[in-house]
Amino acid sequence: MTDTAEIAEPLSGDKLYQQRARKALPLLVRQARASTPITYEDLAHELNMPNPRNLNYVLGSIGQTLLNLSKHWNINIPPIQCLVVNKNTRLPGEGVGWFITDLSHYKKLSNKQRRQLVNAELQKIYAFDKWSDVLNTLGLNTDQSDFKKLNKKASQLKGGGEGPEHKKLKTFVANNPQIFGLPSSSGPGEKEHSLPSGDSLDVFFVHRKEHIGIEVKPHISDSADITRGLYQCVKYQAVLEARQAANGEPQNVRTILVLGGELPDELVPLKNVLGIEVYEKVNAHNG
């Protein structure tokens, strides 16, 4: 269809950033369906891009394509490229201009105020029900990541005792809060911190009003055990936030999965769908 070709022109060319845009859009639709932003670094990793900064061209191509499609359909397609956020601020980069009309006012806001404003826009992306139609119109396939096998293997694991490698890594993490951008004064972290759900966090830090829960997996952990660790972080995030709410405290929680080894490639999409912060290759020898 010539109409479709005209709509998709910014995304349909042969330039490298356009090729990457065609790969990136289905991944962003996956994230939208999971109601989870993705960092520049994580998206670049999935696209095999060495420099996340080059995503600006990729995301701009997606944004322009959706703008053209919005005009063609006469509806407002939310700027899905704004799901890509800075890992520290959790805010979109230059792409914020796609929905913030008064950038001078936006820049004067605190990061908390900016996040509140951005989150309202992200809800529109999550609620949009025509992402499949967008992909079909542009001739793109839905992301085919299938986590059923990974989930099944993880659910079949039996709980075992804590080995020496796990204890060693847990102690190292507790004594080195600076690994996670925390001041050394916030350590040592509390090991085996009890939660009201009956669970125990491997390590727990408090920095100002932020509660940081950490799950540790040593380098000997296999893919199934790491999968379980990802889901444990989801649970800990919810429990920590619920505890803060019950205590009348503002919800300010960060959960982290620490790996002594590397995150297997097959788990990268799952990590991104779940929105888990992962630190790889952490051990007493590289700290």
pLDDT digits (tens, 9 = 90+) for 127-153: 999 999 999 999 999 988 888 888 888
User: End-to-end alpha-carbon separation of the chain, Å?
Assistant: 56
pLDDT number for residue 112: 74
pLDDT number for residue 119: 87
* CA distance linking residue 68 with residue 74, whole number of Å: 10
Helices (H), ranges, the chain: 2-7, 9-12, 16-33, 40-46, 55-73, 103-108, 111-127, 131-137, 148-155, 164-174, 223-246, 268-274
Reported as a pLDDT band with limits 50, 70 and 90, residue 287 is very low
Average pLDDT over residues 252-275: 95
Q: Mention every residue, 6+ apart, whose C-beta is less than 8 A from residue 166.
A: 216, 217, 218
pLDDT at 4 over 90: no
pLDDT number for residue 98: 67
pLDDT at 8 over 70: no
pLDDT at 65 over 70: yes
Which domains does the chain carry?
A: 2-137 (no CATH), 148-279 (3.40.1350)
pLDDT at 1 over 50: no
Q: Mention every residue, 6+ apart, whose C-beta is less than 8 A from residue 11.
A: 18, 21, 22, 25, 61, 62, 64, 65, 138
pLDDT number for residue 56: 87
What single DSSP character describes residue 89? T
pLDDT number for residue 159: 65
pLDDT at 20 over 80: yes
* CA distance linking residue 46 with residue 98, whole number of Å: 24
Determine contact, residues 10/17, Cβ cutoff 8 Å.
no
* CA distance linking residue 276 with residue 233, whole number of Å: 7
* φ/ψ (deg, to 5) at 142: -70, 145
- Reference 260, options 193, 186, 159, 167; nearest CA is 167
- Reference 195, options 240, 248, 245, 250; nearest CA is 240
pLDDT digits (tens, 9 = 90+) for 201-234: 999 999 988 999 999 999 999 999 999 999 999 9
Determine contact, residues 134/187, Cβ cutoff 8 Å.
no
Count of alpha carbons within 13 Å of 248, Cβ hemisphere only? 0
pLDDT number for residue 161: 63
pLDDT at 7 over 60: no
pLDDT number for residue 113: 80
pLDDT at 80 over 80: yes
pLDDT digits (tens, 9 = 90+) for 156-197: 877 666 789 999 999 999 999 999 999 999 989 999 999 999
pLDDT at 284 over 70: no
pLDDT digits (tens, 9 = 90+) for 95-131: 666 667 677 777 787 777 888 888 888 999 999 999 9
Q: Please, what is the average pLDDT of the chain?
A: 89
pLDDT at 247 over 80: yes
